[in-house]
């Protein structure tokens, strides 16, 4: 009586463990394989492109060279870097100052403001597209990178303000009391008291803003016109061959790998912070 | 007493000073363009001469001329786009939630290398949408694509499937690719909720010998439902404005046309700034309304619990 159940239990345990590992393997394959296959394709050329393989059998970097000679891809990468870093710097600066006011000062209309800001973060980009286009024209920024830095504020700023506000609100009150009694100005309090404590939140929000700006397509497609002003997503979206049926898959995959590898490394390094940032943005919302 | 109230007043003043730059930028990039777009919807503006717009009333929305209806609300393609968008939203969010829940439950187990697996599932999320659409365009290629190769190797299909060209399959392909990219987001949010659950419930259920499936339906699901609902709302709002993945994978194709693709095409390919803005306005109100309905619906349920 005592022996029988124990033996079936171990068998069930084994089956359960095998099942778990199978599931884990399936999840990893699901997540990693498409990008791995893109890397494989980017290393092939000529008729090899049309053969299926699971491991690299040759290491050819011809596609990587072709990406930079066929179109101003280097310039596109530089444009994306300029835009993304400017967006991060601007939204963090505006976000920290606004978050201080929203999190640390009691004033009338604060709750309404927070809800409005959350509402803006849900704006569909297309809903403001023609108005934004006219704004960009009016400011004389059409086909300039500035147009992207300005317009990207619509999705990075509300998110940044929101996450930084929730973070700042949880800091203890005693922190600034001494500084207030010493007669320090609000600006000094933000710089000297809060900023040193906020690095984790700044890294998270900055990273998420960077990824959002780096990946954006709609505004970049609409507000830039010439190849030398395009960002990476537009460059890759518009990459085409001699005809619609002859897409240069090798080049496209090489370009895709180039712009994604830095992101993947960033994400793997800052994994924990990103997950906590995403949950803070979503659950508190 | 006087001193503290003076201090509070000065703090409120500086609060508004600190808010001002952010508010000015938000008014400039969100408030003004939104109002401008709504106004342009009531004009005959041409995208190339947008400043010479003339007021035309509701003509872009709906008008009757010579016994025929004109305007966006009378355009079958617009309604097709609305239908496609809703179809896309319902299916992607539903599949993502179920799949994300499954992944979250697996990752909630203890096993060696769990941190590594959790990092790996962030990869689809980190890949730019344009890139993921391109990669899947290649995987789904009818002649040389990996998916057809595997499916025919397994004997599931006997001919090459044109995933991104066959009109009947466009929506399916687009949904598939979007699910691949956004499921990790869902899985991580649900995993975060799962990890906040009290362990005692499970120990008690285990001691009582309750079947794990029953525990899932009776304990796990009700407890994580609020968090899952928030994630579902976020994803639904995101799916309703879908643009990138469809634009890159299938282009402005009637079968996979969504509201955003339709509006952009009118605005910048047909240069119909007035009509396109009217459509953008409709899109804005459809999404705003859906959001409000979803928020109210879920809040009601939250209140019941």
- Each residue of A18-43: pLDDT tens digit? 999 999 999 999 999 999 999 999 99
Subunit contact B37:A131, Cβ cutoff 8 A: yes
The stretch B233-239 carries a mean pLDDT of 91
Nearest-Cα distance to chain B for A56, in Å, is 15
Work out the angle at residue A34's Cα, subtended by the Cα atoms of residues A31 and A36, and round it to the nearest 5 degrees: 95
Nearest-Cα distance to chain B for A266, in Å, is 9
Subunit contact B126:A267, Cβ cutoff 8 A: yes
**Quick check: A124 contacting B, CB < 8 Å?**
yes
**Quick check: A137 contacting B, CB < 8 Å?**
yes
- State the pLDDT confidence band at B230, using cuts at 50, 70 and 90: confident
Nearest to A146 by CA among A83, A72, A61, A199: A83
Going from the C-alpha of A164 to that of each of A188, B104, B173, B230, B240, the distances in angstroms are: 18, 27, 38, 20, 27
Residue A207 token pair: 């990273």
ipTM of the complex: 0.90
Nearest to B149 among A52, A190, A274 (CB): A52
Interface residue of B10, B15, B240 to substitute, partner A, most A CBs within 10 Å:
B15
- State the pLDDT confidence band at B179, using cuts at 50, 70 and 90: very high
- State the pLDDT confidence band at A245, using cuts at 50, 70 and 90: low
Q: What is the pLDDT of residues A163-217, one digit of tens each?
A: 899 889 888 888 888 888 888 888 888 888 888 889 888 998 999 999 999 999 9
Nearest-Cα distance to chain B for A132, in Å, is 5
Q: What is the pLDDT of residues A87-99, one digit of tens each?
A: 999 999 999 999 9
**Quick check: B100 contacting A, CB < 8 Å?**
no
Subunit contact A236:B131, Cβ cutoff 8 A: yes
By the 8 A CB rule, do B269 and B263 touch?
A: no
- Is pLDDT above 90 for B234? no
Nearest to B261 by CA among A213, A124, A76: A124
Three-state SS for A204-256 is HHHHHHHHHHHHCCHHHHHHCCCHHHCCHHHHHHCCCCCCCCCCCHHHHHHHH
Q: What is the pLDDT of residues A1-21, one digit of tens each?
A: 444 555 556 888 888 889 999
Across the strands, what pairs with B63?
Answer: B70
Q: How far apart are CA A148 and CA A158, in angstroms?
A: 16
Q: What is the pLDDT of residues B43-72, one digit of tens each?
A: 999 999 888 889 999 999 999 988 889 999
Nearest-Cα distance to chain B for A216, in Å, is 8
- Is pLDDT above 60 for A283? no
Q: What is the pLDDT of residues B118-140, one digit of tens each?
A: 889 989 998 999 999 999 999 99
- Nearest chain A residue to B107 by CA: give it: A24
Nearest to A134 among B36, B127, B248 (CB): B36
- State the pLDDT confidence band at B178, using cuts at 50, 70 and 90: very high
Q: How far apart are CA B2 and CA A189, in angstroms?
A: 23
| Interface list for B 59-88 with A (CB within 8 A) | none
Residue A167: which residues within 8 A CB-CB, separation 6 or more? A99, A103, A198, A201, A280
Subunit contact B139:A34, Cβ cutoff 8 A: yes
| Interface list for B 192-251 with A (CB within 8 A) | 192-193, 227, 230-231, 234, 237, 240-241, 243-244, 247-248
More confident residue, B26 or B210: B26
Query: How many CB pairs lie under 8 A apart between chains A and B?
Result: 278
Element (H, E) at A83: helix A73-104
**Quick check: A83 contacting B, CB < 8 Å?**
no
Subunit contact A124:B287, Cβ cutoff 8 A: yes
For B69, list phi and psi in degrees, rounded to 5: -90, 135
Q: What is the pTM of this model?
A: 0.90
Residue A56 token pair: 């690299």
Subunit contact A126:B120, Cβ cutoff 8 A: no
| Interface list for A 21-60 with B (CB within 8 A) | 21, 23-24, 27-28, 30-32, 34-35, 37-38, 41, 49-50, 52
């Amino acid at each position: 009586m005592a022996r029988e159940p124990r033996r079936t239990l171990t068998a069930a345990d084994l089956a359960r463990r095998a099942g778990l590992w199978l599931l884990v393997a399936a999840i990893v394959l699901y997540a990693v394989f498409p990008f791995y296959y893109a890397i494989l394709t980017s290393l092939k050329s000529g008729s090899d492109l049309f053969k299926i393989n699971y491991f690299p059998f040759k290491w050819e970097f011809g596609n990587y060279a072709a990406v930079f000679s066929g179109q101003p891809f280097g310039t596109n990468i530089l444009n994306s870097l300029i835009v993304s870093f400017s967006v991060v710097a601007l939204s963090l600066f505006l976000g920290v100052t606004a978050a201080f006011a929203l999190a640390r000062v009691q004033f009338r209309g604060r709750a309404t403001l927070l809800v409005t800001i959350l509402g803006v973060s849900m704006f569909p980009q297309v809903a403001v597209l023609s108005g934004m286009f006219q704004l960009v024209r009016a400011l004389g920024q059409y086909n300039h990178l500035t147009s992207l830095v300005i317009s990207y504020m619509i999705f990075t700023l509300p998110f940044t303000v929101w996450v930084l506000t929730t973070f700042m609100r949880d800091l203890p009150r005693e922190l600034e009391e001494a500084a207030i009694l010493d007669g320090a100005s609000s600006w000094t309090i933000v710089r000297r008291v809060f900023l040193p404590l906020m690095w984790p939140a700044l890294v998270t929000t900055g990273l998420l803003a960077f990824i959002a700006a780096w990946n954006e397509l709609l505004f970049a497609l609409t507000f830039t016109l010439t190849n030398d002003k395009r960002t990476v997503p537009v460059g890759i979206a518009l990459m085409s061959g001699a005809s619609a049926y002859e897409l240069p898959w090798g080049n496209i995959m090489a370009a895709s790998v180039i712009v994604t590898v830095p992101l993947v490394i960033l994400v793997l390094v800052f994994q924990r912070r990103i997950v906590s940032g995403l949950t803070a943005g979503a659950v508190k919302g | 007493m006087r001193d503290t109230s003076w201090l509070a007043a000065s703090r409120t003043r500086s609060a508004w000073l600190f808010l001002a730059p952010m508010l000015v930028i938000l008014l400039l990039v969100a408030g003004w363009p939104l109002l401008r777009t709504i106004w342009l919807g009531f004009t005959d503006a041409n995208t190339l001469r947008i400043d010479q717009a003339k007021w035309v009333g509701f003509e872009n929305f709906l008008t009757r001329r010579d016994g025929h209806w004109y305007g966006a609300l009378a355009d079958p393609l617009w309604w097709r786009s609305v239908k496609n968008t809703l179809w896309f939203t319902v299916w992607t969010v539903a599949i993502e939630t179920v799949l994300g829940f499954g992944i979250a439950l697996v990752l909630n187990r203890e096993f060696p290398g769990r941190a590594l697996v959790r990092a790996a599932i962030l990869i689809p999320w980190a890949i730019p949408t344009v890139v993921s659409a391109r990669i899947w365009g290649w995987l789904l290629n009818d002649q040389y694509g990996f998916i057809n190769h595997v499916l025919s190797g397994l004997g599931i299909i006997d001919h090459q499937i044109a995933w991104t060209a066959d009109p009947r399959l466009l929506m399916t392909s687009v949904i598939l690719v979007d699910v691949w990219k956004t499921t990790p987001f869902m899985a991580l949010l649900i995993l975060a909720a799962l990890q906040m659950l009290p362990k005692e419930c499970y120990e008690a259920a285990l001691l009582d010998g309750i079947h794990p499936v029953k525990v899932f339906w009776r304990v796990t699901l009700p407890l994580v439902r609020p968090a899952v609902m928030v994630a579902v709302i976020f994803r639904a709002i995101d799916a309703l404005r879908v643009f990138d993945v469809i634009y890159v994978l299938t282009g402005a194709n009637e079968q996979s046309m969504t509201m955003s693709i339709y509006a952009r095409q009118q605005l910048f390919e047909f240069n119909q700034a007035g009509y396109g803005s009217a459509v953008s306005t409709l899109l804005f109100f459809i999404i705003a309304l859906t959001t409000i309905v979803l928020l109210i619906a879920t809040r009601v349920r939250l209140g019941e619990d």
